[in-house]
Structure 1
Amino acid sequence: MKILETFEIEDCSCIEPTLMDHLEDRYTDMAVMMAADEARLLIDEKEDPVALALHDSKNWFVSSYIFREPELGVIEKFEECGGDIYQENRDDYTDSIREYYCYEMVKEFPGVLEDNRPGRDILVRELLEEVFGSGCMGMKTATDFCCGSGVATSVLNDMGKDTLSFDLDASLISLGVQKKRLDPKRAMCIDGRAASVFCPESDLCLALMLGDINKMNYEIWESMIGEILAIGKKSLISVATERESKMVEKWLEEEDASVTSFENTRDPIYDRFVLVAE
C-alpha cells in the first residue's frame, strides 16, 4: 500500500478506525498520549503537518490530519520521540488514506454477492449522454454520490472523468473494489451528510437511485440534497418513484437550484425519475 511506502515501513494501522473518524479530535489526543519510541512526521507541499506515524516498540500506528486540524501536541509528540520528517503532496497522501480503508473493507467483507444487473452500465451511459449531450465531454471531474458497488463510477471513468466515489455501505465498497469498478484510492465509506468535507467540488455530481425516502428518514435525504448541490456544478439525481421525485425537486428548489425533471423509461425500476440541477 502507498501509505507504507510513504513512511518507509512494512506494516501499520491507522489510529482512526474509519475515514469518518478523521473528523474527531479525540483521535489526535489518543495519538499524543501513546507510548512511543520513534516517530515519523509527514508534511505536505506547503510544509503543513498531515500525518504522524508512531512506533510503540512492536507496531507502527498512523494518525492523519487531512480532514481535521493538527494540534500543537502533534509536533511536540514528534519532537519528544525523535525521528525523520517526510514530505508528500497532500492529494497523493489523501489517495493513500482512502486506499488503506478500502483494503480494510475488503478484509472485512471478502465475499459479497454481486449486486450489478447486466446492462445497467449501458443504460447509465445512455442517460448521461441524453441529458448532457456533447457537454458531457467537457466535464473533467465527477463525484459518484452513494455509489453502491461502483457501476456508475465505472461508466464515468470510461467516459474519461476523474471520479471520486463514496457510499455508507462498506460491503458494497468492498465489492466494487474487488470487481475493479472502484479504484481504492478514489473510493470512500462515508456518510453523505458530510460529503462536502471529504469531496472537493466537481463538474458533475451523480446521485443515482437515492432512497427509499419516507417520512421516517426524509430529513436525512434532505440534508444530502444540500451536499449534492455543494459538490457538483451540475447534478443528476435519480429516484425510483414519482413521490420521491417531487420531494427531491422541492428540496432542490428551496436551495435556489434550477431544476429539470423527467421520467426515464429505459428501465422499469432503476433511475425511473430523473432530476437535473445546477
Structure 2
Amino acid sequence: MKLPELLHVPAIELIEPNFQSLISDTYTEEILLAAGKEAKLVVNEKGWPILLALKSGETWSGAVFVLRAPVIEIIEKFEGIDGETIEIDTETLIKAVREYYLDILCADVPPAIEDFSADRAEKVKGLLAEVWGNGAGENCLDCGCGSGLGAVALRSLGYTPVCCDIDPALLALGISKERLKKEETMCVDARYASCYLPPCPYGLALMAGTINDFTAHIWQEVLDELVETCEQVLITVESEKEAQMVSSWLAAEDRKITIFENERDAFYDRWVCLISPA
C-alpha cells in the first residue's frame, strides 16, 4: 500500500530527500521548524512514533522515524496541532517508504542497459537450493542486488529478498523488468546496511565485484557489514584468490567459513564463501 493511502491523504512529500537520509537527525530539526495547521502522528505496534505528517495549506509533508529515534519535541509538536493518531506496524510503513523513494528514483533515473542472464539466474538458483534449500518466506538481504538476478533466484525458492544497491540505474532497470519490487528495495551504500535493516537470517552477495588491491578495502567494509547483519551468508567471487581474501577478512571464532568451487558457473559465481555461526 502506498504512503498516502496509509495516511489517508491525497499526497505527501517526505522531507528526507532519499532513503539514505532517513538516518539523519537533521530532518528531525527540519520537521520541528515546519508550519502546520493539521497533523497526523503514526505510531507502530508498540505505540512508538514512527512518522509525523503536517498539513500546510493544501500540502502534506512528513518525516520518518523508523531508522532514527524521535525526540519528545515531536510528540509535543503534534499535541499542539489539531490532528489524529494512526497505528501502522513498522514493517508496513517501511515497505511504503521504500516504495515512495523507488517511485522517485524510477521517475528521475533512466534504466541501465539490460544485463540479465536467465541461464545465470538458474545456476544461482541451483547453488542456493543446494546450500540453503527452499525458503519459507524468510528474509534474505541481497547485497549489491544490481538489477535483480539474485532476487529472482531467491523468490523462486521461497525467500523474501530485501535488496540494496548504490547504483540507481541498475535498480531502475530491475524495477522496470519487475525483477525487483519497490517495497523490498533500497538505494543505499551496503557499507552501512545495518543502519537500514534489522538482522536478517540470510545474506547474499553475488559476484562481489573484482577484488584487487585498489578495491579490497571497500569490499571488506561491505562484506563485514553483511556478515554482521545476517546469520547465514553466501558470497560468490570469480577466483579462488578472491575467495581466500574474503575468508581472511571474515575469519572469527564465532563463525564457520567454508570455501568451495561452484562448477555450475565458469566465471561469475565460480568460487563460493559460505559463512555460518560456528
- The equivalent residue for 2:165 is 167
Specify every segment of 5 or more residues in structure 1 that has no aligned partner in the other structure, as ranges.
Answer: none
- Residue 269 to residue 25, structure 1, CA distance change in 2 (3 Å): same
Q: After superposing the two structures, state which structure 1 stretch, 239-248 or 143-152, moved more.
A: 239-248
Shift of 1:202: 2.5
Structure 2: which amino acid aligns with 1:17?
Answer: P
Structure 2: which amino acid aligns with 1:14?
Answer: L
- The equivalent residue for 1:274 is 272
Instruction: Give the counterpart of 2:219 among 205, 218, 221.
Output: 221
Q: Secondary structure at the match of 2:273?
A: strand
Distance 2:214 2:252 in 1: 20
Specify every segment of 5 or more residues in structure 2 that has no aligned partner in the other structure, as ranges.
Answer: none
Shift of 1:165: 1.2
Distance 1:186 1:111 in 2: 18
Shift of 1:49: 0.5
- The equivalent residue for 2:85 is 85
Q: Secondary structure at the match of 1:81?
A: coil
- The equivalent residue for 1:2 is 2
Alignment deviations for residues 236-268 of structure 1 (CA, whole Å, 9 cap, x no partner): 101123332221010111475211112223233
- The equivalent residue for 2:60 is 60
Shift of 1:91: 1.1
Structure 2: which amino acid aligns with 1:26?
Answer: T
Q: How does 1:148-163 map to 2 (within 5 A)?
A: 148-163=146-161
Distance 1:137 1:54 in 2: 41
- The equivalent residue for 1:202 is 200
Shift of 1:212: 2.6
- Residue 204 to residue 267, structure 1, CA distance change in 2 (3 Å): same
Q: Secondary structure at the match of 2:268?
A: coil
Distance 1:236 1:26 in 2: 36
Shift of 1:139: 7.7
Q: How does 1:97-176 map to 2 (within 5 A)?
A: 97-132=97-132, 135-137=133-135, 140-176=138-174
- The equivalent residue for 1:249 is 247
Q: How does 1:222-237 map to 2 (within 5 A)?
A: 222-237=220-235
Structure 1: which amino acid aligns with 2:215?
Answer: N
Shift of 1:64: 0.3
- Residue 57 to residue 179, structure 1, CA distance change in 2 (3 Å): same
Distance 2:106 2:147 in 1: 12
Alignment deviations for residues 117-164 of structure 1 (CA, whole Å, 9 cap, x no partner): 2312101111112334xx445683322111111111111111111221
Over the aligned positions, Cα root-mean-square deviation in angstroms equals: 1.8
Shift of 1:211: 2.1
Alignment deviations for residues 156-177 of structure 1 (CA, whole Å, 9 cap, x no partner): 1111112211111122122111
Distance 2:253 2:195 in 1: 19
Structure 2: which amino acid aligns with 1:101?
Answer: Y
Distance 1:152 1:100 in 2: 23
Distance 2:238 2:59 in 1: 48
**Same amino acid, percent of matched pairs:** 34
Distance 2:254 2:214 in 1: 25
Distance 1:152 1:140 in 2: 15
Q: Secondary structure at the match of 2:206?
A: strand
Distance 2:219 2:192 in 1: 12
Distance 1:22 1:200 in 2: 15
**What TM-score, normalized by structure 2, do the two folds share?**
0.92
Shift of 1:227: 1.5
Whether the 8 Å contact between 1:22 and 1:68 is mirrored in structure 2 is yes
Structure 2: which amino acid aligns with 1:164?
Answer: V
Q: Secondary structure at the match of 1:211?
A: coil
Distance 1:275 1:35 in 2: 53
Q: After superposing the two structures, state which structure 1 stretch, 24-33 or 107-116, moved more.
A: 107-116
Aligned length: 276
Shift of 1:114: 1.2
Distance 1:28 1:137 in 2: 38
Whether the 8 Å contact between 2:129 and 2:157 is mirrored in structure 1 is no
Distance 1:40 1:254 in 2: 47
Structure 1: which amino acid aligns with 2:5?
Answer: E
- The equivalent residue for 1:259 is 257
